[in-house]
Amino acid sequence: MRLVSVVVPVYNEEKGIERFCLKELFPELKKLENYSLELIFINDGSPDKTLEKLNSLIKDPSAPKTTKIISFSKNFGKEAALTAGFRLAKGDCAISLDSDGQQPPSLIPKFLEKWESGARIVTGVRDGYTKHGLIPRLGSKLFYKLLKMMGNNSTVPGSTDFRLLDRVALDEFNALTEHSRITRGLIDWLGFRQEYIKYRYGTRIAGRPAYNLKKLFRLAIDSFVSMSSTPLVIFGYVGIIITVLSFLLGVFCLINQYLLGDPLGLYWPGAVHMAILITFLVGLVLISQAITAIYISNIYTEAKNRPLYIIDKENSKL
């Protein structure tokens, strides 16, 4: 029987965790009779009673036989929690899902079905918007637009951390060593063909989301910076435009005033010449900054030490 690992990050979910486990997760896992199961909770340093509740929940007869709780020393964030879960997972595949009920465990069989028919990675995609309020909505739209502009074409808008990775994808993911990490982004970077499952992002069983607008903004910036060096280079292009324009303006000014004796009658004072010169120099500074940025980005790429390539399949005639 194939082993399926289920990875669940948990942070401050004391109010909802019992209902989630007893009413949703455990019953759904029970239905998967054709698989061996391994359930891994990562308690991400919850200061509330989450850990105590988990400790008693795993004793419940409906919990899978192999159920582990890994408890962090403090809150390291969901990305670290997922990474720990994937590294610990021994399964032939691993499925990650939230512990607040927003990613319905009833979809797990669908994920497994796609895996059985050959998918290396299955990704849950939010159907429509769940975030309330104009700013988060617009923010989410802008985020995916920018991500695309920066050359990331592999991330489908609305894709979530509700994912399945087969053993090959898991091993490749676990080999990535960088510290500043966005799980979704890294999984997409692996490049394997993905299958998608659309689902309605439910409402939280209880408690409040740990990600407020400030944290989401930070996450978005991290996504951009860790996946691409484009933000650094944009200013270089601005610099080139400024330099070229101010250079042309300077040449025009010189010719008009000193060679032709101002036939246009502009009477530009010295301050204008000064302004043109300063703009020109600002352009040069921006360009040189961008060049430095490219060096830094190359150092960053080396430091991340991602594999040069990832092999999907092999076939040989022997």
Quick one: 25 or 290, whose CB is closer to ligand UDP?
Answer: 25
The C-alpha angle with vertex 14 and arms to 55 and 43, in degrees rounded to 5, equals 55
**Minimal distance in Å, beta carbon 219 to ligand UDP?**
9
Closest CA to 27 of 50, 61, 3, 59: 61
Residues 172-211 that bind Mg ion (CB under 5 A): 209
Binding-site partner at residue 77 among Mg ion, ligand UDP, none, CB < 5 to 8 Å by type: ligand UDP
Q: Which of 4, 5, 6, 13 binds ligand UDP (CB under 6 A)?
A: 13
Quick one: 50 or 243, whose CB is closer to ligand UDP?
Answer: 50
**Minimal distance in Å, beta carbon 98 to ligand UDP?**
4
Quick one: 100 or 188, whose CB is closer to Mg ion?
Answer: 100
**Minimal distance in Å, beta carbon 204 to Mg ion?**
6
Quick one: 70 or 168, whose CB is closer to ligand UDP?
Answer: 70
Quick one: 12 or 246, whose CB is closer to ligand UDP?
Answer: 12
Asked if 89 contacts 5 with a C-beta cutoff of 8 angstroms, the reply is: yes
Q: Does 38 bind ligand UDP (CB under 6 A)?
A: no
DSSP string, the chain: -EEEEEEEEESS-TTTHHHIIIIIIHHHHHT-TTEEEEEEEEE---SSTHHHHHHHHTTSTTS-SSEEEEE-SS---HHHHHHHHHHH--SSEEEE--SSSSS-GGGHHHHHHHHHTT-SEEEEEE-S----SHHHHHHHHHHHHHHHHTT--SPPTTEEEEEEEEHHHHHHHHT---SS--HHHHHHHH---EEEEEE-----SSS--S--HHHHHHHHHHHHHHH--HHHHHHHHHHHHHHHHHHHHHHHHHIIIIIS--TT-----HHHHHHHHHHHHHHHHHHHHHHHHHHHHHHHHHHHT--S----------
Residues 183-242 that bind ligand UDP (CB under 6 A): 209-211
**Site size with Mg ion, rule: CB under 5 A:** 3
CA distance 234 to 287: 10
Binding-site partner at residue 81 among ligand UDP, Mg ion, none, CB < 5 to 8 Å by type: ligand UDP
CA distance 102 to 199: 10
Q: Which of 10, 37, 95, 108 binds ligand UDP (CB under 6 A)?
A: 10
Q: Does 253 bind ligand UDP (CB under 6 A)?
A: no
Q: Which of 13, 100, 166, 172 binds Mg ion (CB under 5 A)?
A: 100
Quick one: 10 or 276, whose CB is closer to ligand UDP?
Answer: 10
Binding-site partner at residue 13 among Mg ion, ligand UDP, none, CB < 5 to 8 Å by type: ligand UDP
Binding-site partner at residue 15 among Mg ion, ligand UDP, none, CB < 5 to 8 Å by type: none
Residues 78-107 that bind ligand UDP (CB under 6 A): 78, 81, 98-100, 102
Q: Does 9 bind ligand UDP (CB under 6 A)?
A: yes
* Site for ligand UDP, rule CB under 6 A: 9-11, 13, 44, 75, 77-78, 81, 98-100, 102, 209-211
* Site for Mg ion, rule CB under 5 A: 100, 102, 209
